[in-house]
Amino acid sequence: MSEFDPPQMDALLISADPDHIERERRKAKELKRTAWWRNRKGRGQCYYCKRRFPPAELTLDHITPLVRGGRTSKANCAPACHECNQHKRNLPAEAFKAWLQERLDETSTD
């Protein structure tokens, strides 16, 4: 693991039922077709790093990951850039945000 990889909390992971994950992924596909999601994504800002992106480059991220029991709902879905989504993986949002802030602090002092 490089120093720029977020911590993994697999030891703390209580994996959700595979049926739950599949059901919520289907809901996510439906949510992506809504005006609400197009509007949210259309703002062009990553929920985590706050950088601006063309809307087509943003992905739907579950703030509380599905494998941690998260659900597909407007309150639990946010646009994320590819980089943040890939680094976050199955971390809870607050753990990822803390890791991201540490990286930003480190790079600003270098």
Better-predicted residue by pLDDT, 55 or 110: 55
What is the C-alpha separation between 79 and 55, in angstroms, rounded?
9
Query: What's the confidence (pLDDT) of residue 30?
Result: 98
Query: Mean pLDDT for the chain?
Result: 88
The answer to whether residue 108 is domain-embedded is: no
DSSP codes joined into one string, 21-89: HHHHHHHHHHHTTSHHHHHHHHT-B-TTT--B--GGGEEEEESS-GGGT---SGGGEEEEEHHHHHHHT
Query: What's the confidence (pLDDT) of residue 13?
Result: 56
Better-predicted residue by pLDDT, 80 or 6: 80
Structural domain range at position 25: 10-101
The answer to whether residue 54 is domain-embedded is: yes
17-54 per-position pLDDT tens digit? 899 999 999 999 999 999 999 999 999 999 999 999 99
The answer to whether residue 27 is domain-embedded is: yes
pLDDT at residue 74 is higher than 90:
yes
The answer to whether residue 1 is domain-embedded is: no
Query: What's the confidence (pLDDT) of residue 107?
Result: 79
Domain count, the chain: 1
The answer to whether residue 109 is domain-embedded is: no
Query: What's the confidence (pLDDT) of residue 108?
Result: 75
Distance in Å from the first CA to the final CA of the chain: 21
Q: What is the CATH number of the domain that holds 94?
A: 1.10.30.50
The answer to whether residue 60 is domain-embedded is: yes
pLDDT at residue 67 is higher than 70:
yes
